[in-house]
Chains A and B, each alone.
Chain A
């Protein structure tokens, strides 16, 4: 079973629009960590955020915000006033204490059109 689901394969928005990238996860652990990474065309996966399962506070960092809801097992990512430089593939990932790897979702490819 897929531990992390990113149902949106590709999204296109016009510059300055807001966009939300969905992430749904599945785990039986009560302690776990969720991550978002950005992969621009250059290929490097860039860390954006880490959130532990006990901290349900939403987080805002500049134009980025994250909405963590344990009740729906979701960890959605919103970009406000999108810019062309936001064009990338975004991966959501889950890390469980029993293992040592990230369970990545399949990624959402975001294209911001100028």
Chain B
């Protein structure tokens, strides 16, 4: 059974139209991550939550925001998607922060921007 679930699997939006991607987890992990992965590239960390503590990567555009209303759910909001934001968005969780922790990934949401 999937432990990190992302909805939807495919999302199409229009240029400039806000979009929200969803992630939920059944692992009760403290940390949730959002990655952006463009075609043939490595995943790039956008931000993560440690419990309710939000941690933004320095180079993550302001256009990307996140919400974590409870332990199980985390949302990625793209306020004004541009063509360059078309990518696969991966959610991951880990029990704790730190280098020892394995990250468990969802299947991703592939975002298209028209």
A57 vs B23: C-alpha distance in the bound complex, in angstroms? 36
Within 8 Å CB of B108, what residues of A? 43-44
A64 within 8 Å of B by Cβ? no
B99 within 8 Å of A by Cβ? yes
A95 within 8 Å of B by Cβ? yes
Q: How many residues of B contact A (CB 8 A)?
A: 28
Within 8 Å CB of B33, what residues of A? 101
B55 within 8 Å of A by Cβ? yes
Partner of A43, one of B55, B102, B103, B107: B107
Partner of B90, one of A45, A52, A99, A100: A45
Q: Do A105 and B42 have beta carbons less than 8 Å apart?
A: yes
B100 within 8 Å of A by Cβ? yes
A78 within 8 Å of B by Cβ? no
Q: Do A33 and B103 have beta carbons less than 8 Å apart?
A: no
What residue in chain A is nearest B2 (Cβ atoms)?
A44
Q: Do A44 and B105 have beta carbons less than 8 Å apart?
A: yes
Distance from A63 Cβ to chain B, minimum over Cβ atoms (Å): 21
Given known A-B contacts A44-B106, A97-B99, A104 and B88 have beta carbons under 8 A apart: no
Looking at A104, A105, A106, the one whose CB has the most chain B CB atoms below 10 A away is: A104
Partner of A101, one of B45, B50, B102: B45
Q: Do A45 and B41 have beta carbons less than 8 Å apart?
A: no
A33 vs B100: C-alpha distance in the bound complex, in angstroms? 6
Q: Do B43 and A45 have beta carbons less than 8 Å apart?
A: yes
Within 8 Å CB of A100, what residues of B? 31, 48, 50, 55, 97-98
A47 vs B95: C-alpha distance in the bound complex, in angstroms? 14
Within 8 Å CB of B42, what residues of A? 91, 104-107
What residue in chain A is nearest B88 (Cβ atoms)?
A43
Distance from A97 Cβ to chain B, minimum over Cβ atoms (Å): 5
| Besides A95-B99, A106-B41, 18 new A-B residue pairs in contact (Cβ under 8 A), listed by A number | A37-B105, A42-B107, A43-B9, A43-B88, A43-B110, A44-B105, A44-B108, A45-B43, A46-B105, A91-B43, A100-B97, A101-B45, A104-B42, A105-B42, A106-B40, A107-B40, A107-B41, A109-B40
